[in-house]
Amino acid sequence: MCVRRATCDVRRSLERRCTGRVSGPGSRRAATEAAPQCARLARVTLLVDLFNPAEGPYAYLNAIEDDAAGFESYRLRLWSAPPLVARGARFLPQLAHSDLFVFPEELADFASECRSLRDDADEIAITLWGTSDGAAELRRYLDRFISAAALAEQRAVGVCIS
């Protein structure tokens, strides 16, 4: 059974649309191999959620309703971009190489980093895209991360972005 209900539902839906079947574990790979035009759709979700560190980093709690964290390409194009690193970001740039797991003892620092980046969203957007048009979207994502950190703190669990 899939732990990430939202992700798996999307993958099953994409696979059904792209191949007409669902293959269970590895369905994203099957959809990608069977229908390359649908592979782009399968890569559009980075999700933020909570995890229980006592059960392991992938013990997702499916606790975040509005869990979008951007396109898969945002790992490099946004979350690990030079303007974030230059502002001292140390959590989000980890997404360039792996999923991000913020453990309970790191939540305050993570939330502080997100608040600082949110305050600079206009400047970050201008540096990245030459316009501040993307600043509102950036702020929405960062607000989700801040909310997730607050919820994780209440529950004594961690935040993951994967």
Tracing tokens 């964290």 back to the chain, one arrives at: 69
- Do 50 and 39 share a structural domain? no
- Do 52 and 16 share a structural domain? no
- Do 52 and 37 share a structural domain? no
Q: What single letter denotes the amino acid at residue 10?
A: V
CA-angle at 29, arms to 5 and 162, nearest 5°: 45
- Do 99 and 145 share a structural domain? yes
pLDDT of residue 32: 35
Grouping H, G, I as helix, E, B as strand and the rest as coil, residue 97 is coil
In DSSP terms, which residues pair with 50 in a beta bridge?
A: 159
- Do 27 and 53 share a structural domain? no
Choose among 75, 72, 57: nearest CA to 158. 57
- Do 31 and 89 share a structural domain? no
pLDDT of residue 45: 81
pLDDT of residue 48: 97
pLDDT of residue 57: 79
Q: Is the whole model's pTM more than 0.85, yes or no?
A: no
If one counts the domains in the chain, the total is 2
Say how far apart CA 87 and CA 121 lie, in whole Å. 11
- Do 50 and 28 share a structural domain? no
- Do 69 and 144 share a structural domain? yes
Q: Would you write out the chain's pLDDT as a tens digit for each of its 162 residues? A: 333 444 434 333 333 333 333 333 333 333 334 334 444 444 448 999 999 999 987 899 999 999 999 999 999 999 999 999 999 999 999 999 999 999 999 999 999 999 999 999 999 999 999 999 999 999 999 999 999 999 999 999 999 999
- Do 32 and 1 share a structural domain? yes
- Do 55 and 22 share a structural domain? no
pLDDT of residue 10: 38
- Do 90 and 19 share a structural domain? no
Grouping H, G, I as helix, E, B as strand and the rest as coil, residue 26 is coil
- Do 62 and 30 share a structural domain? no
**Sequence-separated (6 or more) residues with CB below 8 Å from residue 7:** 45, 47
Whole domain around residue 53: which residue ranges?
44-161
